[in-house]
Amino acid sequence: MPNRKAATPITLAVVKTACSNCNLHELCLPLGLSHAEIEKLDEVVSARHRIKRGEHLYRAGETFNSIYAVRSGFFKTDVLLEDGREQVTGFQMTGELLGLDGISTEAHSCNAVALEDSEVCAIPFSHLEGLSREIQTLQHHFHKVMSREIVRDHGVMMLLGTMRAEERLAAFLLNLSQRFTARGYSPAEFYLRMTREEIGSYLGLKLETVSRAFSRFQEEGLIAVQQKHVRILDIVKLKQLMSHHHRE
């Protein structure tokens, strides 16, 4: 029961971020914190930024200062090779953190691009470290988030290293479905924010292969797809696709 609402009247001069007013508690950094602890976190989370579709939140090589929590919208992160080859390393949605890769060298090691108009909360990393020396729950949760990123990356390595094209796309769709569900959206129907080429880059496939796999899934009645709109029709078969090896 926050009584601070009454304390701050209508004055909205500064659009200060406030984790305590944010409905992303259960997805984002404040998970498990007491109300008093969240208010401490409020002081650390400096500001909210708006990023328009197509704009960079940060670029590889830039100095690392803050990590970012996605308040609303959708991002991709990617790495570029000198010869222009691109690997999308992840897609980030509401409540997920961006910039963890920058801690190691104090410079961002990838690009973060908004795939739709988005808002992020910037969290100066040194402040976060300070606060997590005070609040054990915050420290532990932050470690879990970093570790989860490592586990996620291992999952992608498994996908890229051992799966066939259709398995990869099935895994991708099921992962999206599960993350939309966790955010209160439909598990079976969603809009993709990324192009076929970006999906392909993430999955280690060419855009034509992604497109063909979508068509095949549709032919077989697993999904209904029209451009970026996807409806999952047979989630069971989609899951089975991944557990069968290629030869039956």
Partner DNA sequence: CTCGCACGTTGACTTGGATCAAAGGGGCAC
Partner DNA sequence: GTGCCCCTTTGATCCAAGTCAACGTGCGAG
Q: Minimum distance from CB of 72 to DNA (Å)?
A: 16
In the bound state with its own copies, the residue whose beta carbon lies nearer, of 1 and 247, is 247
Chain-centroid distance, C-alpha 222: 25
Q: Is 245 one of the binding residues for its own copies (CB under 8 A)?
A: yes
Question: At its nearest, how many Å lie between its own copies and the CB of residue 157?
Answer: 6
Say whether residue 228 binds DNA (CB under 7 A). yes
| CB-CB contact of 48 with 120 (8 Å) | yes
User: What minimum distance in Å lies between the beta carbon of 187 and DNA?
Assistant: 21
In whole angstroms, how close is the CB of 215 to DNA at the nearest point?
A: 3
One of 4, 53, 59, 143 touching its own copies (CB under 8 A): 143
Residue 3 contacts its own copies per CB under 8 A:
no
Q: Does 51 interact with DNA (rule: CB under 7 A)? A: no
Structural contact between residues 90 and 159, judged by C-beta atoms closer than 8 angstroms:
no
Shortest CB 204 distance to its own copies, Å = 4
Q: Which range of residues in 8-16, 43-51, 98-106, 200-208 is near DNA by CB under 7 A?
A: 200-208
- The site string for its own copies over 203-242 (x = CB under 8 A, - otherwise) reads xx--------------------------------------
Q: Which of 103, 174, 182, 233 binds its own copies (CB under 8 A)?
A: 103
> Residues in the site for its own copies, rule: CB under 8 A?
79, 81-87, 89, 100-105, 109-110, 129, 132-134, 136, 139-140, 143-151, 153-158, 160-162, 201-204, 243-245
